[in-house]
Amino acid sequence: MSLLVVGSVALDSVETPYGHKEDVLGGSATFFATTASFFTPVRMVAVVGEDFPEAHVDFLKSRRIDLEGLTREPGKTFRWKGRYGFQLNEAQTLDTQLNVFQSFAPRLPASYQETPYVFLGNIHPELQGQVLDQVKRPRLVAADTMNFWIQGSREALLKTLSRVDLLFVNDAEARALAGEHNIVKAAQAIFRMGPSRVVIKRGEYGALLFDGEQLFALPAFPLDQVFDPTGAGDTFAGGFMGTLATSPTLTHDTLRQAMVMGSVMASFTVEKFSLERLREVTLPEIQDRFAEFKKLTHFEHIRPVAS
Amino acid sequence: MSLLVVGSVALDSVETPYGHKEDVLGGSATFFATTASFFTPVRMVAVVGEDFPEAHVDFLKSRRIDLEGLTREPGKTFRWKGRYGFQLNEAQTLDTQLNVFQSFAPRLPASYQETPYVFLGNIHPELQGQVLDQVKRPRLVAADTMNFWIQGSREALLKTLSRVDLLFVNDAEARALAGEHNIVKAAQAIFRMGPSRVVIKRGEYGALLFDGEQLFALPAFPLDQVFDPTGAGDTFAGGFMGTLATSPTLTHDTLRQAMVMGSVMASFTVEKFSLERLREVTLPEIQDRFAEFKKLTHFEHIRPVAS
């Protein structure tokens, strides 16, 4: 089934201990859509400027991403510049130029309005709400957010969250949103805001899924080379939602598989700059890494010896 | 088979956001031995002072821990005082009084010399080496260490490590020891120092096992109440080594089960102060939590849909 994403399409400049790149393809919608397109048809709502290279548009089209909702506006494309140290978990933002993104008002083409799976990328919660106003009876609405909105636009965020089924956040965001340090209690507090499922992203430490009373924990794949973590979170969400969108039923087991597939895809993204690794990764590689996750985490039952 | 532990027996004073306790039973050997005693006979080498309460000795005896190697010396027992904030991962040490521990020179009773499993708790690497001088043909030697020795006694530590089969360290210690930020490469660097197995302890994020080319990752059990993390690492090692000591063969699968049992036991320790939870926990509770770890981490294979 199709999957709608609204978010940013950007030109990123990134410095890591392993090199730097200028004005490469980035943005939450880009990473999400490219990843999800391995699994399901994707519809994108986003905006770019006059300077956005046509080659990037061609790449997205080649991934069978529906770009009817991608508008080109006068001005420049959204730009983000960041740096990572050896501690690759968190980026230091050096510069943000919103450009055409500043006046972004997501408008859905008529053909998008009945999309069953919706992912609201990390944009202003009011804009996320405007997207929900335009979709009809979605099967599942997922959203991402960040501390900037949690602290600066709490009212609007809570309004949007009341319409969201599944929230993706990291540890710090979950704690800030819930006002609760313990992560189990934080997830329970977020349930009371609307979402019935919460995914906690923990970077190199993996991810947690709170699905009502059920709990799933997955470590990240230990890589001997992490090149550029940019886009890992959106890649995770893309693999997760892409997996859900292709599953006949939405069971708890499917959500677990979606967690693994999200982690599989994110583990590829960080191996190279920008979308370089996602551009070249093959389905057999994806299947192999899924199997490696199984090997990584599997253990046999044991019977403790009586004392 | 029996299991030898050398380490500290202490009186701890601990402050957490949930309360504080003065002069309660603590120390690496205490947490380790109490935990391992659920699975196998344990022999302890440690020292206490004249002020060490007889009730604590009686408790250790009641856990069928062999105390022939526990000496009582003139002076006071080792004392540690620490504080945890809401970020319970790391303690702030407020005071350390070595007392009788200052002149500790581990001497093994004759009856201990043929112990097949040896755990060298976090003490000076030269003392760890002295223990190894006194054991005959152990089947497996495991050790713990910390940044204090990695930075201050590197030579002695490297000498001891060349005689160690399995090392327990946390992320930061592994990185400091190896001089390498990437944790996979750090483990490979530690292999070259002697140990053929490295366990990376990550607190609330779980643990990693590097066993030659094989890799196992386990998340920690998400608890809605973490009361006092003191002793979690030694409890983990106690559950791990206790499991190995009762296994007929030392296979990679056994090491994975040992990782889970270490995590199971540590998840109990942090639920209350000191050894309070370990004193009362029952074998059925341990078995139940092992099964919960299975539920927490299990997922089914998937076949990705062709793009």
Report chain A's mean pLDDT, rounded to a whole number: 95
Mean pLDDT on A56-74: 97
What are the pLDDT digits (tens) for A213-262? Answer: 999 999 999 999 888 999 999 999 999 999 999 998 899 999 999 999 99
Count of alpha carbons within 13 angstroms of residue B192, beta-carbon side:
7
Contacts of B88 (CB under 8 A, 6+ apart): B16, B204, B226, B229, B270
Answer yes or no: is pLDDT of A297 > 80. yes
Instruction: Decide if A212 touches B, using CB distance below 8 A.
Output: no
What are the pLDDT digits (tens) for B273-304? Answer: 999 999 999 999 999 999 999 999 999 988 65
Choose, out of A65, A191, A263, A307, the residue to mutate when testing the contact with B (most B CBs < 10 Å): A307
Nearest chain B Cα to A205, which residue? B205
Q: Is A238 exposed, middle or buried (0-12, 13-18, 19+ CB in 10 A)?
A: buried
Answer yes or no: is pLDDT of A12 > 70. yes
Mean pLDDT on A296-307: 76
**What integer pLDDT is reported at residue B304 of this predicted model?**
54
Crossing angle, helix B252-269 and helix B232-245, to 10 degrees?
A: 140
pLDDT confidence band for A90 (50 / 70 / 90): confident
Residue A140 Cα distances to A117, A118, A264, angstroms: 5, 6, 22
Answer yes or no: is pLDDT of A38 > 50. yes
Report chain B's mean pLDDT, rounded to a whole number: 95
C-alpha B10/C-alpha B21 separation (Å) is 13
Sheet holding A207-211, edge to edge: A65-72, A42-48, A3-6, A117-120, A140-144, A166-170, A197-201, A207-211, A214-218
Mean pLDDT on B79-105: 90
What are the pLDDT digits (tens) for B8-23? Answer: 999 999 999 888 999 9
Answer yes or no: is pLDDT of A306 > 60. no
CA nearest neighbour of A264 among A300, A298, A231, A232: A232
**What integer pLDDT is reported at residue A89 of this predicted model?**
73
**What integer pLDDT is reported at residue A307 of this predicted model?**
46
Nearest chain A Cα to B187, which residue? A224
**What integer pLDDT is reported at residue A247 of this predicted model?**
92
What are the pLDDT digits (tens) for A99-136? Answer: 999 999 999 999 999 999 999 999 999 999 999 999 99
Burial B113-149 (b: 16+ CB within 10 A, else e): eebbbbbbbbbbbebbbbbbebbeebebbbbbbbeeb
Which chain A residues have a beta carbon less than 8 Å from that of B201? none
Which chain B residues have a beta carbon less than 8 Å from that of A208? 219, 222
Mean pLDDT on B128-138: 97
Instruction: Decide if A222 touches B, using CB distance below 8 A.
Output: yes
Mean pLDDT on B231-248: 96
ipTM exceeding cut-off 0.95 for this assembly? no
What are the pLDDT digits (tens) for B115-127? Answer: 999 999 999 999 9
Nearest chain A Cα to B36, which residue? A307
Instruction: Decide if B18 touches A, using CB distance below 8 A.
Output: no
Instruction: Decide if B64 touches A, using CB distance below 8 A.
Output: yes
Which chain A residues have a beta carbon less than 8 Å from that of B202? 205
Answer yes or no: is pLDDT of B307 > 50. no
Instruction: Decide if B305 touches A, using CB distance below 8 A.
Output: yes
Q: State the pTM of this model.
A: 0.95
What are the pLDDT digits (tens) for A147-190? Answer: 999 999 999 999 999 999 999 999 999 999 999 999 999 999 99
**What integer pLDDT is reported at residue B36 of this predicted model?**
98
B 74-113 residues with CB < 8 A to A? 86-87
